[in-house]
Amino acid sequence: MSETWTAVELEQEGFVRRVLEDFYRDGKPPWDSGITPPELVALIEGPDALMPGQVLELGCGTGTNAVYLARHGWRVAAVDLVDRAVQQAREKTHAAGADVTVLCGDATRLDEVGVPGPYDLFFDLSCYCGIPPHRRDAYAAGLTKRAAPGARLLMFGYGPGALGDSWSGVTADELSARFAGWQLDDVTPGTNPVPTFWFTLRRGADSA
């Protein structure tokens, strides 16, 4: 089926790609600190740690968290939209000896990327909140299609207005509405100066 977007929607998509490419070209993506966030560490190593399985990282950047997950027994696939980020992630995972599949692709077009799943965990560090609104249903549908029963989604995102535009950002209400068949288990405010949140969603165990 063909997709037809308005001029505004196409401009949003182009803007996102340019901003991401500029950050990686300049070597200063603010979301790519080189440190695995404690919220992910808690999920992987904490008292209620998940049993290792298959994980898909959306917007993997230079591969810091993909390497971490692989070292803790997960079978990792990682996707990023920016060629430069993907190349750096492949170099990092190779240097670390981590068994990670790093792919260049759009998180809202996973059928074109080659990540069939099913996945027990999805990890998103600032990817969804920068996706234009007209592509967010496709993101949710792509994850839902690939989610094993009981799968988790751990997502970090900026709140609406944090980036100074009219459309980026994410709220708990939006995720609850968009992710049919998932339950929003937890919302924890981040520690950033601007409003940020950690969201944990769970796919229904009996969902097909």
Tokens representing 2? 């063909």
Tokens representing 62? 């230079």
Cβ contact 129:16 at 8 Å = no
- Quick one: fold of 7-203? Rossmann fold (3.40.50)
CA pair distance 175, 182, nearest whole angstrom:
9
pLDDT of residue 27: 72
pLDDT of residue 197: 96
Give the start-to-end residue ranges of the domains of the chain: 7-203
pLDDT of residue 198: 97
Distance set, CA 191 to CA 62, 164, 188 (Å): 22, 19, 10
CB atoms within 10 A of CB 168: 22
Amino acid letter for position 180: A
pLDDT in single tens digits along all 208 residues of the chain? 346 656 555 455 555 666 666 666 777 776 678 899 999 999 999 999 999 999 999 999 999 999 999 999 999 999 999 888 899 999 999 999 999 999 999 999 999 999 999 999 999 999 999 898 899 999 999 999 999 999 999 999 999 877 677 788 999 999 999 999 999 999 999 988 889 999 999 999 765 5
| H helical segments located in the chain | 7-26, 38-45, 64-71, 83-96, 136-146, 172-178
pLDDT of residue 1: 36
Q: pTM of the predicted model, to two decimals?
A: 0.88
